[in-house]
Amino acid sequence: MDLTPLLQSPFVLQAHVAGALLTFAIGCVLLAGVKGRAMHRTLGYVWVVSMAVTAISSFFLQSINPGSFSFIHALSAWTMIVLPMGLAAARRRKIAAHRKHMTGMFMGGILIAGLFSFLPGRLMWHLFFQV
């Protein structure tokens, strides 16, 4: 794998990729691990920040539809609405709502949006599949 295209990309894209990778990794740990303990809460706060960085940075990336937003930006807007709702649900001990919000963001905001980043012609396609 040649990281040159990523390293030569604008900082906002590098921050977006770093945030997405961190969010994915921590999300996997959180979903697989024991809930409610100090480690879950600590990693959860880091996950919230990295998810916010990923969503906010996406608004500055317009490679699918140059000059305007695309359907992927709708996921980012949705994330910025649901992220504080999921955090508030956890703080209020509304665990079912917290689980629904956070799992939904992980599935929609990271997994589904992440799959779109691997479409032919996009940076992640070049990093992983270009020979």
Q: Is residue 3 part of a domain?
A: no
Q: Is residue 1 part of a domain?
A: no
Q: Is residue 5 part of a domain?
A: no
Total of domains in the chain: 1
Q: How far is it, in rounded angstroms, from Cα 78 to Cα 121?
A: 26
Report pLDDT for 8: 87
Please answer whether residues 12 and 61 qualify as being in contact, where contact means their C-beta atoms are separated by less than 8 angstroms: yes
* DSSP assigned state of 75: H
Q: Is residue 4 part of a domain?
A: no
Q: Is residue 6 part of a domain?
A: no
Q: Is residue 31 part of a domain?
A: yes
Q: Is residue 2 part of a domain?
A: no
Which of the four pLDDT bands, split at 50, 70 and 90, describes residue 66?
low
Q: Considering only 37-41, 59-63, 77-81, 102-106, which range has the smallest mean pLDDT?
A: 59-63
Q: How many CB atoms lie within 10 A of CB 50?
A: 21
Question: Residue 116: which domain range?
Answer: 11-126
Residue range 99-126, pLDDT digits in tens: 999 999 999 889 988 888 888 888 888 8
Report pLDDT for 93: 95
Report pLDDT for 64: 55
Q: Is residue 25 part of a domain?
A: yes
pTM of the model: 0.86
Structure tokens at 90: 């956890």
Structure tokens at 57: 């940075």
Report pLDDT for 3: 84
Q: What is the residue-averaged pLDDT of the chain?
A: 89
Residue range 92-106, pLDDT digits in tens: 999 999 999 999 999
> What is the rounded average pLDDT of the residues 3-16?
89
